[in-house]
Amino acid sequence: MSAPLFVPLILAVLIGAVAGSRTLLAPAAVSWAAYVGWLDVSGSWLFFMGHPVSPWVFTVLAALELVADKLPTTPSRKLPFPFASRIAAGAIAGATIVAGSGGGPWAAGLIAGGLGAVAGTLGGYAARMRMARAFGRDRPAALIEDAVALAAALLIVAA
């Protein structure tokens, strides 16, 4: 694998892991990166990620998700629909990074982002459960997970 494709694929896996933690944070981050010109998706089917409305929509949805995640009625991320949603979000975000960086085919980013989302979903769940046990409650663990996911998303799209 050549160096130009290797780096975007690693970033695609990492942004997928962010989606595994917070579903809509990954598409929000890459949409902002596409909108400001850090990622060029203008010539691909992913053009919508750089549309002027997209980052705002994804950001609002991501903010709502951050609130909903703390509600007692929020289902487990490991149930089929939430799990599939995280994989889809990670795949789209990964494809956007790979295609937008000029580093390779979007399909490679789709796979890398989806795989990262699987790892992020399962790993994030395990880490949050360990933190919640250590704190004796879930809220501090959830807030730490939010902060880590947000910081990671920002670092990944800035790379």
> How many structural domains are present in the chain?
1
Report how far residue 94's alpha carbon sits from residue 113's, in angstroms, rounded to the nearest whole number.
4
Do the beta carbons of residue 9 and residue 147 sit within 8 Å? no
CA 143 to chain centre: 17
Q: 120 by DSSP, 3-state: which? A: helix
Give residue 77's identity as a one-letter amino acid code. R
Q: For the chain, give the mean pLDDT.
A: 94
Give the number of other CB atoms < 10 A from CB of residue 36: 11
Domain range spanning residue 97? 3-158
Each residue's pLDDT tens digit, 18-36: 999 999 999 999 999 999 9
This prediction's pTM: 0.92
Each residue's pLDDT tens digit, 43-96: 889 999 999 999 999 999 999 999 999 988 999 999 999 999 999 999 999 999
